[in-house]
Structure 1
Amino acid sequence: MNIKSYIPNAFTMANLFCGMLGVFFAATGHLDYAAYAVVAGVFFDFFDGFFARMFKVEGELGLQLDSLADVVTSGVVPGMVMFQMLHKLENWNTGERWVEAGMSWDSVSLLPFLGFAITLASAFRLAKFNIDTRQTTSFIGLPTPANALLILSLPLIVQFQDYAIAETLITNTWFLLALTALSCYMLNAEIPLFALKFKSWGLAENKIRYGFLLLAIILLFWLTFAAIPVIIVLYVLLSLISRA
């Protein structure tokens, strides 16, 4: 029995468990805890592939299991969070914050359900990724974990940071609907993006990855949660520049 072959799948299952926690927290209105669960899931998602490549145990089972876990962590959770944000905007003018506004099904309009378009687009993107031979060393379209982090950062910015402009945008229904549409497009757009997959640790062949990670760390220390949308935009721009 090769114990090493079970390690990547254990990390994938941990990712799935974090996704289940994220679903629970999002459904009960604890959007901050849902975000933390997704961050933990993305951490496990990165290292399942890392260890699979390190131990040379990549296989079809791991690929399928990884996508199933990502559908939950990076698809269902951000869709539920967008639903909650769109719903809770109905309570915003009464003075209730998102962490205080509860769910009342008799007051839910149809509009918040558009947030689940993110879940549908994420599932389609993951299914397409599994059969797309062009995405072995890079991505085409925004990866679902990156998109999930973008969506999950929004309630954290409103709840924990004092940026008036950001709060005005994030608490605008039309902005959230436009972001939902953009999210669905970027997930499945024919845009080549680099992957954070290190086959070696050399500087020359990984300069864009090291540069991106350094800038991301600086932005996180400087802007904290507000850095996440900036980092996602930076990721797309650096990918486009590197391909030019």
Structure 2
Amino acid sequence: MRQVPNIITLCNLFCGALAIICILHAPEYHAEFNGTDYTVVSPEPVYWASALVVLAGIFDFFDGLAARLLRVQSPMGKELDSLADMVTFGVVPGMMLYRLLRSAYFQQPDVFDVSIVNLAPALLVPCFAAYRLAKFNLDIRQSENFIGVPTPAVALLVASFPLIVLFNPFNLAHWFQNIWVLYVIIAVLCYLMVAEIPMISLKFKNKSLADNWTRFLLIILTLVGIPLLKFATVPLIFICYVILSIVVPPKMQTN
């Protein structure tokens, strides 16, 4: 029974690795431009990878829950969890943003002049995620709540972007095909992951409404938003989560 939480954590990692394969597995086709043949990689969004990130998030929730219920929490499990999160909630959203940037540049008239330098900023997300996870492992203030936005929240937000592009609720798709919007999103997410901002944890320590009203509010907003806003609910809940954490900051332990 001691290995059950670790097995669940490895399911998280498996989903992350499979999501990377989905992102990389893009069909190629030939295009002619000014009399020259080019091999073009399809920029279509990575819908399956989005679903795998959500599944990985479920595993990430249950591995900690299983460890507490079975009373088998260990340093090994904590390190394994961070390594899995680095892949699933660090590398995968970085690659998603890379593909979205690439797709956005395909809308530009000078698409064939785009350099890897134009797309490289997306890889800052894995870098800041790694820093955030290392900081989390060493910071005793984050035993109950967080300092900076947790990587699963960032990954779930980014995973919603391809689905918004696909289903286009409220005509939002064009925003995620704008290179400057994507650059701003990358910069904001990188900052939020390492910012010294106390963030609410969604783990319930007790059943008190007074202690958990912000958590209940986020859950209610999610349940109401899903049938009304569809996939646009995810960015809305993310923004509400950040604002609530700033306006009603959770109590943190001191070093």
TM-score by length of 1: 0.88
TM-superposed deviation, 1:201? 3.5
Distance in structure 1 (CA, Å) of the matches to 2:166 and 2:210: 41
Q: Is the counterpart of residue 8 in structure 1 residue 5 in structure 2?
A: yes
Q: CA RMSD in A?
A: 2.0
Percentage of pairs with the same residue: 40
Unaligned runs of 5+ in 1: 95-104
State the match for 1:158 in structure 2.
Answer: 165
Name the CA distance, whole Å, in 2 between partners of 1:92 and 1:213. 37
Partner of 2:147: 140
| Cα distance in 2 between the residues matched to 1:238 and 1:19 | 29
Distance in 2 between residues matched to 1:155 and 1:123, nearest whole Å: 23
Residue 209 of structure 1, aligned match among 199, 210, 215: 215
Q: CA deviation at 1:215?
A: 1.3
After superposition, the C-alpha distances for 1:16-61 in whole angstroms (9 at most, x for unaligned) are: 0000111111122451111001000011001111111222221101
Q: Structure 1's 202 and 51: CA in aligned 2 closer, same or farther, altered over 3 A? A: farther
Correspondences of 1:72-221 after superposition (within 5 Å): 72-92=87-107, 109-164=116-171, 166-221=172-227
Structure 1 or 2, whichever has the larger Rg, is: 2
Moved more, 125-134 or 53-62: 53-62
Alpha-carbon shift at residue 241 of structure 1 (Å): 2.4
Unaligned runs of 5+ in 2: 27-44, 251-255
Q: CA deviation at 1:107?
A: 6.5
Report the AA paired with residue 217 of structure 1. L
Letter in 2 for 1:123: A
AA at the equivalent of 2:198:
P
Runs of 4+ in 1 over 6 A off after TM superposition: none
- Report SS of the residue matched to 1:92: coil
The residue type equivalent to 2:103 in the other structure is K
How far off its partner does 1:77 sit? 0.4
Deviation at 1:185, TM superposition (A): 0.3
Q: Secondary structure at the match of 1:142?
A: coil
Task: Tell me which of 231, 234, 242 is aligned to 2:237.
Answer: 231
Per-residue CA distance 1:179-213 (angstroms, 9 max, x = gap): 10111000000010111112333434322222211
The answer to which of 24-33 and 150-159 deviates more is 24-33
